[in-house]
Structure 1
Amino acid sequence: MFASIKKWMGSSSKGVDQGGVLSAWAKAEGHAFKHVSGRVSGYVVETTRGWRVEWGDSQRRVYIPGKELRFRSETSMPHDVQVVMLTRALAQTLETDVFSRFTNDMQTQIDTSLPDEMRWLAMHPQVDTPQSPTLAKRFVILSNAVEVSQLWLDSSLIAAFEEAANSWWTDELMLVLTVNRGMLTVRMAGDDIDPEVLKQAADLFDLAARRLRETALQTAA
């Protein structure tokens, strides 16, 4: 599986410490930056907006080899709501790898050793975005709670996703957004962090997290 992912990602500056990039961004934004060591080593940024950024060894080696950058936020969304969003180009690559693993191993069910979000590619229905041809063309959004996901995707969030699609969120960028167990997470390849992409991804994540909290309140009412 790594072969097709590495080919898709191309070359990167693997092994280069990205602490300086994260520290500079955190200082400029007024966030708290710290180094963590022990069983897990890396960096953590506690933001002033109630969510955090983590950098360290990948927790998703099956599709992010090397280092990983994670944005994480509690949202109060019910734990059974699941969403995954990624570019169509990356979705096609991951779907091909899942199918290859399934057929090569002659399995009768989806491999439970795969990360949740990869299994969801085959399990969950698509969330249509007819109000945004750009999103419909560039991204795949899947969820087991389609109506909740459509409520989350209000005009402000769709506009932000469209802006990202037209600027920094390219087909070549390894980035996967998920909602699971009440947690909003964005995972990115972390071997070579572009400072401008970091800032833009953080701003988009902040909006997505706020909208998800608002949606959780709306659906609970």
Structure 2
Amino acid sequence: MFASIKRMIAPSSSKGDEGQVLSSWAKAEGYAYKTVRDKDGGGHVVQVEDEDWRVEWGTSQRSYIHGKELRFRSETKLSPDVQILVVSRVLAHALETEVFSSFTNAMQTQVDNTLPEEMRWLPMHPRVTLSEPVVLSKRFVVLANAETVARRWLDDKLLAVLEDAATTWWTDALTMVVTVNRGRLTIRMPGQPLEEAQLHAVGRLCSQATRSLRAAALSSSAG
């Protein structure tokens, strides 16, 4: 994971102490860091106060992410009814296969409600056509139940950050899913191992995605 980034950082950064990696990154960026405890063993939280988003590391909440999970989350003030999914075509195909397998093995007549919401959206929501940048249109899938809102969100600034991610660290081998649902943006991926460069890169994406979503929310409410 993040092979292109790993080549640029020291080998000592991959010791497996995710709490230390998160703490060091948070300290360097001026973010608040804390350890949390719960029935599942607890984890770590980094709060970005200035931009009002957070990073969570702990037990995986998704069957397609094994071991620990890393989540970037923010509240966007977008309508809770809007649902958007951004995922690589490779991962979309893998998740669609799992949905189809679950559907046919159980001989169901509708999509299994126990599946994660983003997996249920794959056969439900229409795709938002991406024409530019070319790298995004070839490698990624965007689905939404509100295409106009999705296009407002995918403004020039966010597209530029997505294009940079697609050409540097967001590889086809990376299990990363971006969702917008109930007014919340969530970016989730495997949480082991962690690299500070990884946190910086995904943090930049989360920051811009959050700003663009809040702008889209204001635009939608105004018109």
TM-score normalised by length of structure 2: 0.90
User: 1:35-114 alignment to 2 at 5 Å?
Assistant: 35-40=35-40, 41-48=42-49, 49-60=51-62, 62-114=63-115
Over residues 41-89 of structure 1, what are the superposed CA-to-partner deviations in whole Å (9 max), with x where a residue is unaligned? 10000113211100000011x1111100000100000000000111111
Tell me the SS of whatever aligns to 2:168.
coil
**How far apart are residue 154 of structure 1 and its match?**
0.9
Kindly provide the amino acid, as one letter, of the partner of residue 52 in structure 2: G
CA distance in 1, matches of 2:138, 2:169: 16
Partner of residue 8, structure 1: none
Partner of residue 32, structure 2: 32
- Structure 2 residue ranges without an equivalent (≥5): 1-15
Kindly provide the amino acid, as one letter, of the partner of residue 173 in structure 2: E
Kindly provide the amino acid, as one letter, of the partner of residue 67 in structure 1: K
CA distance in 2, matches of 1:113, 1:38: 23
**How far apart are residue 144 of structure 1 and its match?**
0.2
1:117 is aligned to 2:111: no
Partner of residue 166, structure 1: 167
* Identical residues among aligned pairs (%): 54
**How far apart are residue 114 of structure 1 and its match?**
0.2
**How far apart are residue 131 of structure 1 and its match?**
2.5
Partner of residue 4, structure 2: none
Over residues 109-157 of structure 1, what are the superposed CA-to-partner deviations in whole Å (9 max), with x where a residue is unaligned? 0000001000001100001111221111010110000111011111111
Partner of residue 177, structure 1: 178
Count of paired positions: 205
Tell me the SS of whatever aligns to 2:142.
strand
Partner of residue 10, structure 2: none
Tell me the SS of whatever aligns to 1:59.
coil
Kindly provide the amino acid, as one letter, of the partner of residue 111 in structure 1: D
CA distance in 2, matches of 1:185, 1:195: 19
Kindly provide the amino acid, as one letter, of the partner of residue 102 in structure 2: R
CA distance in 2, matches of 1:214, 1:151: 8
Give the alignment's Cα RMSD to 1 decimal: 1.0
Tell me the SS of whatever aligns to 1:68.
strand
Kindly provide the amino acid, as one letter, of the partner of residue 92 in structure 1: H
Q: Which has the larger displacement, 163-172 or 17-26?
A: 17-26
- Structure 1 residue ranges without an equivalent (≥5): 1-15
Tell me the SS of whatever aligns to 1:76.
coil
CA distance in 2, matches of 1:145, 1:138: 21
Over residues 153-188 of structure 1, what are the superposed CA-to-partner deviations in whole Å (9 max), with x where a residue is unaligned? 111111110110000000111110000000000001
Tell me the SS of whatever aligns to 1:177.
strand
User: 1:6-25 alignment to 2 at 5 Å?
Assistant: 16-25=16-25
Kindly provide the amino acid, as one letter, of the partner of residue 211 in structure 1: S
After TM superposition, the runs of 4+ consecutive aligned structure 1 residues lying more than 2 A away are: none
Tell me the SS of whatever aligns to 1:166.
helix
